Amino acid sequence: MTTTRLFTWISFLLGVTAIAIECPDSWITFHDHCYLFSVDKLNWFHATKSCKDKEALLVAIESAAEDTFLKQSIVHFHLHDNPQFVGYWTSANDLEVEGRWVWGYPSDNQVTYADWHAGEPNNVWFDKRAEDCVVLWGHSTYNYTWNDQPCDIAEHYICEIGEPHAEVVG
Ligand SMILES: [Ca+2]
Ligand SMILES: [Ca+2]
């Protein structure tokens, strides 16, 4: 008997099942966190507020596994869309100190895992505006790697419940 089967059998005997987080309707579960991929597009500040209104946080990505899950989900949701125009806000930003990337604002939760596209973060939008907020970007060769872009652009966004490290401020 494998460990898993043994565990299942013991769980059955005890009348319990493995403890798992329960996500609200239309949220997706991954590693005991819940994620909501927005249909609407908002600027980074309004996206942050929208997640907070849902008692969640704009997503923080702490591992390659979480990053891959998010990318695969976006690809799945946009199978029939042109990825050139698909971007999803994360909570990463360097609004407070240029070049110091943190999850949330204000926050001391520094970005450790990162998946920047080659040449990013470059802090220059095509119209020369500064770029302080991070998006998973479908544009060109990006394939949902990370780009810093101006925070006032309207993009989709991902809310996350169960983030243990992020600070909820304000
Ligand atoms: Ca996370
Ligand atoms: Ca950039």
pLDDT tens digits, 47-94:
999 999 999 999 999 999 999 999 999 999 999 999 999 999 999 999
Ligand with the closest atom to the CA of 126: 2
Ligand 1 centre and the CA of 13: distance in Å?
A: 34
Instruction: Determine if residue 121 is left, alpha or beta; phi over 0 gives left, psi from -120 to 50 gives alpha, anything else beta.
Output: beta
Ligand 1 centre and the CA of 81: distance in Å?
A: 26
Ligand 2 centre and the CA of 124: distance in Å?
A: 6
| CA distances for 166 relative to 15, 87, 137, angstroms | 35, 22, 22
Ligand with the closest atom to the CA of 32: 1
20-56: per-residue pLDDT in tens?
Answer: 678 999 999 999 999 999 999 999 999 999 999 999 9
Calpha distance 81→159 (Å, rounded)? 21
Ligand 2 centre and the CA of 112: distance in Å?
A: 18
The mean of the pLDDT values for the chain is: 89
